[in-house]
């Protein structure tokens, strides 16, 4: 897996505000939205385009447009929804599929409870969005799921990743023939005994949408 840490002072500034436990939900949502737009700019550096012709008021010239099939954005419910708007603002013609995954807080394993994806992802570039890469179980399952449906290039965009999660994804997907890229705003110190990222930002879903 290719790992890219988006090293930019604006990203670091917004992440610091996001981590702050005094940041309320509306501000948290706005910051997550702004961050994903900045991360997505990096993450889409290799989005596929095809040549096209464009007529300007002055002349006809060559340009590019997003290639077909269009990229697929896949937010992991529920926290990934907080990153969806920022993604589709940058890729307005992308399609969106949903994966509902929840972590069993005892085993820390991911369980899929909902799936709204196109049946055929043949030759699709997929952008998986989920704020936290913690144990890595969710991302491993999501990537395998998308590859089984035909996706041939996967980029995961997260706000914060844990070293343990990155190592697990790398190990679990070592045999995969499909390129996987991780774009993250930061790599934190470690996971705690409850599977939370330290220092992290707490439970991203709760901070976006309230405690359930």
Which of 37, 164, 178, 196 binds ligand URA (CB under 6 A)? It is: 196
Q: Binding of ligand URA at residue 132 (CB under 6 A)? A: yes
Q: Binding of ligand URA at residue 197 (CB under 6 A)? A: yes
By annotation, the residues acting in catalysis are 103, 107, 203, 206
Do the Cβ atoms of 163 and 198 come closer than 8 Å? no
Q: Which of 88, 70, 89 is nearest to 151 (CA)?
A: 70
Which of 5, 112, 203, 209 binds ligand URA (CB under 6 A)? It is: 203
Q: Binding of ligand URA at residue 200 (CB under 6 A)? A: yes
Instruction: Choose between 66 and 204: whose C-beta lies nearer to ligand URA.
Output: 204
* Cα separations in angstroms, 172 against 79, 176, 185: 23, 9, 22
> What gap in Å lies between CA 69 and CA 22, rounded to an integer?
43
Q: How far is the CB of 183 from ligand URA (least distance, A)?
A: 18
Q: Annotated binding residue at 203?
A: yes
Q: Binding of ligand URA at residue 209 (CB under 6 A)? A: no
- Binding segment (CB under 6 A) for ligand URA, from list 6-14, 54-62, 145-153, 201-209: 201-209
Q: Binding of ligand URA at residue 81 (CB under 6 A)? A: no
**What sign has the CA pseudo-torsion 69, 137, 9, 11?**
positive
Q: Annotated binding residue at 83?
A: no
Instruction: Choose between 87 and 197: whose C-beta lies nearer to ligand URA.
Output: 197
Q: How far is the CB of 138 from ligand URA (least distance, A)?
A: 9
Residues tagged in the binding site annotation for 5-phospho-alpha-D-ribose 1-diphosphate: 78, 103, 130-138, 203
């Amino acid at each position: 897996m290719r790992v890219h840490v988006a090293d930019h002072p604006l990203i670091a500034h917004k992440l610091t505000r996001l981590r702050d436990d005094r940041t309320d939900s509306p501000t948290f949502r706005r910051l997550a939205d702004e961050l994903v737009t900045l991360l997505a700019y990096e993450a889409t550096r290799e989005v596929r385009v095809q040549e096209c012709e464009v007529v300007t008021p002055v002349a006809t010239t060559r340009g590019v447009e997003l290639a077909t099939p269009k990229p697929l954005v896949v937010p992991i419910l529920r926290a990934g929804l907080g990153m969806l708007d920022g993604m589709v603002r940058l890729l307005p013609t992308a399609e969106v599929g949903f994966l509902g995954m929840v972590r069993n807080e005892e085993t820390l394993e991911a369980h899929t409870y909902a799936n709204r994806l196109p049946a055929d992802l043949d030759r699709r570039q997929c952008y998986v969005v989920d704020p936290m890469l913690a144990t890595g179980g969710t991302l491993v399952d999501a990537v395998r799921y998308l590859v089984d449906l035909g996706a041939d290039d996967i980029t995961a965009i997260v706000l914060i990743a844990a070293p343990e999660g990155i190592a697990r994804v790398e190990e679990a997907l070592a045999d995969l023939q499909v390129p996987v890229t991780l774009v993250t705003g930061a790599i934190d110190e470690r996971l705690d005994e409850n599977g939370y990222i330290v220092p992290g930002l707490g439970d991203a879903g709760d901070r976006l949408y309230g405690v359930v």
